[in-house]
Structure 1
């Protein structure tokens, strides 16, 4: 897979040859990755047939389109190579938009794969302009041979030289993987449309750069409304679903997932899943087009917990690229309570080792080359909270109340069970909708440390 530069400015990919289509073979060239048998420079995951060639090719193009698009303040950007995980019974391909506000995933399921799984693990695959052009010419009902890995790749460079890429990798891209996993793990199914109704709904979406709309159930379909209502799904920037349009001729169903909404609910993230023959194309949209997932703050409480970091080492050692990670079974195997196991999974998500599949309401295992401590250090709120703790700026005035002294004055934090509130401007603006403020985080750290010390 890629090697991240110390400053986090770029990620380097090395391939023995470019990905491409030669005759009836789609060869996806892999960079270094992690497998069940350990790190490998160019892992070989799958050799066989894609039984649904045309929808797979169109979905791969959609994934590539997301990866090179900035939906907020658009400007030209290059390809970022998708992450591919082989979980044995499926292939998962993932990417983020260049602006960090759209997460895309293509799940190629067992029914669309006929061949041999050579290895389980995670890597990056080369995506390039010529490959995209070749995928656009794939059609008809003929199956397409697929090789994920280099043993059977028929596409080579003329001089046999390796292919090397250095791709800018914004820090928000790293944090986005963690945030999406935590946010979507709390979502429930909100709507399901048949293939025909999905086509009508998606084609009715506005073409321009729209603001935040709400998809409200209306009979067998959905209609857009300017304000939330019970049962509505937030659809911020409806044009961000446009990569689904070329897939509509294959659509079997469209499903939407999100949190519970009611009158007065603020913008939220949402998941839109297009069911295709033997596969799923999934887009997760941030609450607003201008908001990338990196700033949502959903992982901050878990990142601030030393206990979860220790549990993550134990839980992580038990993962084996399962397509479904069951917290109950994992808790039993690890000998941990369920709540601590779930917190450990959040920690593992901060280093890209765990994702969440809303279609199956289950975690899945993957491996990315990101250091969780680096991801934590990239979050300014967490850095500020720890600085407040180190400076002794947190003083508890009761079991559920604390005063945090800052350069801007005193901030009062109150706890109500698992919830907390603060008197700072950040809390006034967001009401916890974008994670805890630095004052709440600092108070929680001090409160937790005091609880641990009392037990000792």
Structure 2
């Protein structure tokens, strides 16, 4: 099974009343009780027009597709807790990640429960958001008691869609990149408007770099001092409705140039983040650096306990957590790495800290998502498929691993990263994480 099935009893709606409009977002949660998902938040938006602009931009990200053969991702997710709401979404090609944060200053209401759920962004609701005026009051309610779940017995409701596994893997990859980013540029409101004017027309098929020239943002095909690599700069046009509203724009990038992010401070507790993969045809797949972390299994009760302990959007400080619970630094590091690899930790660039994300799926289901790791473990089922050849100086270990009609050689433990002779590793040279042969060798002899 490659997709998760999930369903809603009814569509999300914008209800018009004399005392003000109410926005109801239909919710889904696999681990909610059979009676329906609880209400997470209900209250009023302090600036409904600005919040609607952010949600409309998020809907544009969901509807966008920069790789023609990519399948459609459908609905964003919302995390409620710690006096804030975070809406997250991916483009259909998984190459763009977006998040709208509504902080305490943006909300006037009650957080009934803490949690994360998938929400239904149907076309009528998106159209209604686009018509919200600057003066009308809007109340927001996330989650409803009548929402039902699809159980293993096959309960079917009126509206059923498929949630691709890559949605969860994308959260893993995106936060990993965000956690390693550094701030490169800060733009004022005027410079943000100039950035919108200088966006290249059409589709950018080559590397593009964002630089400041005479205090004005510009795009260049050549990297220079302080330049930020923006793969497929045309994807920044998703922000055309928000850039003129921004108080400040901060540009971030990873040291290796594999991802970049734009953070728009919109004022009044509203913030929008757009992260881009370095290449348009390579999205946030979640099959890279986190694989080696997941290869070292942790007791299931550790992860279940953490998921029960933390509230959604709660700040996760690994050092403080270890001191509070009298855990060794090594234990906390392992737990933190696994929580990150499973998508249970997000990262706030402006505050430079992790936040917890209680995903609406059972933890044991998330653990089984990665096919490359599953294939590596399958190789270990037959003792003859992974064979030790020898151990040399400085712990250099050579291993033979059975492939499809051929044997591959894996080298571990030297001063260099692991290597494999398979075509997949040869093509990517470790930039997309270890191949299944390296993982199998590490699991047995690492």
Query: Do the structures match in fold with TM over 0.5?
Result: yes
Return the alpha-carbon distance in structure 2 between the equivalents of residues 352 and 257 of structure 1. Answer: 21
Against the structure 1 CA distance between its residues 200 and 337, is the aligned structure 2 distance closer, same or farther, given a 3 Å change threshold?
Answer: farther
Aligned pairs (5 A) from 1:25-424: 25-33=21-29, 41-73=36-68, 77=72, 80-150=74-144, 164-211=158-205, 212-261=207-256, 268-277=258-267, 278-294=269-285, 296-307=287-298, 311-371=302-362, 374-375=365-366, 377-392=368-383, 393-395=386-388, 396-398=390-392, 399-407=395-403, 408-416=406-414, 419-424=417-422
Identify which of 5, 9, 13 aligns with 1:11. 5
2:443 corresponds in structure 1 to: 445
**Partner deviation per Cα, 1:109-140 (whole Å, 9 max, x = no partner):** 11111222222212233322121111111232
**Partner deviation per Cα, 1:377-400 (whole Å, 9 max, x = no partner):** 443332332233343414152323
Normalised to the residue count of structure 2, the TM-score between the two structures is 0.85
Secondary structure of 1:84 counterpart = strand
Return the alpha-carbon distance in structure 2 between the equivalents of residues 75 and 424 of structure 1. Answer: 26
**Which 4+ stretches in 1 moved above 6 angstroms?**
37-40
Return the alpha-carbon distance in structure 1 between the equivalents of residues 434 and 225 of structure 2. Answer: 26
Return the alpha-carbon distance in structure 2 between the equivalents of residues 418 and 50 of structure 1. Answer: 53
Unaligned runs of 5+ in 1: 1-6, 152-161, 262-266, 449-456
Against the structure 1 CA distance between its residues 342 and 19, is the aligned structure 2 distance closer, same or farther, given a 3 Å change threshold?
Answer: farther
Single out whichever of 377-386 and 178-187 deviates more from structure 2.
Answer: 377-386
**Deviation of residue 314 (structure 1)?**
4.1
Return the alpha-carbon distance in structure 1 between the equivalents of residues 227 and 339 of structure 2. Answer: 31
Return the alpha-carbon distance in structure 1 between the equivalents of residues 307 and 375 of structure 2. Answer: 28
Unaligned runs of 5+ in 2: 146-155
Normalised to the residue count of structure 1, the TM-score between the two structures is 0.83
**Deviation of residue 276 (structure 1)?**
0.9
The answer to whether the Cα contact below 8 Å between 2:22 and 2:138 also exists between their aligned partners in 1 is yes
The answer to whether the Cα contact below 8 Å between 1:351 and 1:371 also exists between their aligned partners in 2 is no
Against the structure 1 CA distance between its residues 273 and 418, is the aligned structure 2 distance closer, same or farther, given a 3 Å change threshold?
Answer: farther
